[in-house]
Structure 1
């Protein structure tokens, strides 16, 4: 009987020790740092073909990400057009990320060593960002030093556009106002462009006005066209008037993309010449459905097997262009008599595409 009691006591002690070890193990797991998942599908593009990331490469990227941050800057390309470029900037010590972004628009400033081929900064040499003050109505008041006034008049709109679009990448910023050495400006200092009420993206960028458009029946929209400088492929926003007399604004925007960019530019026309809209685009619950004729598909010789492939440049042009409308959260591109579309890497488009796939917005 005594032996049986001793055995029960021994088992109880053993069980208690095991349970204590389990609880201690669980606590230590909770104290470990969690691994962040990829932000979106684009994060896996850096992985190898097996889907597994090389551990050394992952450690290197972790080190880089701790010291730098991706920021979208609007710079001037070799053709004199303002276009977004995503650059790795040093992680700011404070939360003044918008101020840092503007500082990297200054010629001969810290952006110099980071400039992509053919690109240049737009703000005059020596310009200092003296302060940024947000207002309740979404305007950002930018105070710059007097060096800001040292630019050629033909660059005035480009400077305004670059500053405005760089600032409005941040979700809380809808537009900007300007001060020079603390003095509010109603006009730009060199060519007198009115800016008193503020400047926003609705004022346009890289403005073009086709001769054939009837302005009485048209509306200004911003379209995205691909361009290339060496190995650097990027998209250029262009504001132009489109005819809206025969269809909704979305259909007009698509037809303008199908017509291609103005011949005076070096922008690329990426649609097959026979491509047409199969019907008027329709918006439902934030998703805009756009259906093309089969001519939009890539040449069969370029397709992955016999999969119906739509060019990545076509998809990006369409999504970047249409999601500028706040009502459009995503775009579902379809093709007549085709069930599933694929990108150039053979991946299916199983859900509508959002603009975050190509460009992210960030909180200040």
Structure 2
């Protein structure tokens, strides 16, 4: 998976909310009060200079205050659970701290500090009142939970594991996660007994879908990004599918799953046309993958335009692959595509530093 997506130094959601504004008595007044016109005021040149200087100073002070407030927060991906039960990254502005890993997990605790920040339909996953400490060494994060950690429902166990693992491994300094409770290593989860093993990584998957797999032993995992939410409030959902071991190229496998789309009962969407095809093997060079599609990749044939959701799904999915940093999309061997804003895609598209921020 591309390292760029983990960089932090997990914010807002892609969910776009609409505001209904109502005026109170704006046109309902029967009689207006009479207001005397302002007296004519004449400023001397010296007074004008003082006024302008004061205004500039006030503006500069306001700008500095806004900059200071911005620098006191940091965008962090929190893997929260949506109304359909999917573990989904939502980027929120958290207070700046040196203990970013510990803070990220504290914001996953139910009824904790994240409560007032939760996007509509989302919830935190770690049980109420759980105390957490994180120790990071050699890219392994050892997380110790208090006894409250075991107070969850069995059906939430995998969601908790995935949320913790994917939230922590967004950071460059963490690749693996180990769990403890009251200082004792956990070899399995305390409620439903899900095996944990030596460590947890993103290779274990997220929102795992095996619905179309007959024999899981001859498959391997590949994570793709579909669209969740509703009109005007869409966001990207990572889903780990199982694909045949016979497919040697994971890039091919991922694109095939994007074109195939999510299962009918998944509540997820996909904007890829079923006729989309790769016209050749993906070419990978220096972290850049070049894809050559047929014209079915276009969302608008006459303008040679690619849907932003299609482009975003491609970039998010392929930068999950080890060593892939950016994506170039061509059609019939030519790089003549435009995005929905009418801009030509002349440069490779990289993964955003944060996912589901409200803008890609």
Give the TM-score taking structure 2 as reference length.
0.77
Flag the 1:61–1:221 CA change in 2: closer, same or farther, 3 A: farther
Partner of 2:316: 320
Alignment of 1:30-45 (within 5 A): none
**C-alpha deviation, 1:220, in angstroms:** 0.8
Distance 1:60 1:267, change over 3 A: farther
Give the equivalent residue in structure 2 for 1:333. 329
Alignment correspondent of 2:87: 82
How far the C-alpha of 1:352 sits from its partner, in A, is 1.2
Larger Cα Rg: Structure 1 or Structure 2? 1
Structure 1, 143-152 or 284-293: larger mean CA deviation: 284-293
Q: Deviations over 1:4-25 (max 9, x none)?
A: xxxxxxxxxxxxxxxxxxxxxx
Compute the displacement of 1:228 (Å). Answer: 1.7
Whether 2:77 is the aligned partner of 1:72: answer yes
Residues 212/193 of structure 1: CA separation in 2 closer, same or farther (3 Å cut): closer
Residue in 1 that maps onto 2:338: 342
CA shift, 1:299, in A, is 2.9
CA distance in 1, matches of 2:313, 2:136: 32
**Shift in Å at residue 195 of structure 1?**
1.4
Aligned residues: 298
- Report the Cα offset of residue 333 of structure 1: 1.2
Judge conservation of contact 2:226–2:268 (CA < 8 Å) in 1: yes
Distance 1:122 1:63 in 2: 32
Give me the whole-angstrom Cα distance separating, in 2, the residues matched to 1:151 and 1:173: 26
Q: C-alpha displacement at 1:241, in angstroms?
A: 0.9
Tell me if structure 2 keeps the 8 A contact 1:213–1:241.
Answer: no
Counterpart-to-counterpart distance in 2, 1:331 and 1:359: 16
Q: How does 1:60-209 map to 2 (within 5 A)?
A: 62-92=67-97, 95-129=98-132, 131-136=133-138, 138-209=139-210
Indicate conservation of the 8 Å contact 2:226/2:237, yes or no: yes
Find the residue that maps to 2:89 and give its secondary structure. Answer: strand
Contact 1:140 1:175 in 2 (8 A): yes
- Deviation of residue 277 (structure 1)? 1.5
Unaligned residue ranges in structure 1 (runs of 5+):
1-38, 40-54, 301-305
Between the aligned partners of 2:343 and 2:280, the Cα distance in structure 1 is 26
User: What is the CA RMSD across the aligned residues, in angstroms?
Assistant: 2.3
How far apart are the structure 2 equivalents of 1:151 and 1:227? 25
Which residue in the other structure is 1:42 paired with?
none
Gaps of 5+ in 2: 1-7, 9-58
Q: CA deviation at 1:357?
A: 5.9
> What SS does the corresponding residue of 2:253 show, helix, strand or coil?
helix
**Whole-angstrom distance in 2 between the partners of 1:67 and 1:104:** 17
TM-score, normalised relative to structure 1: 0.76
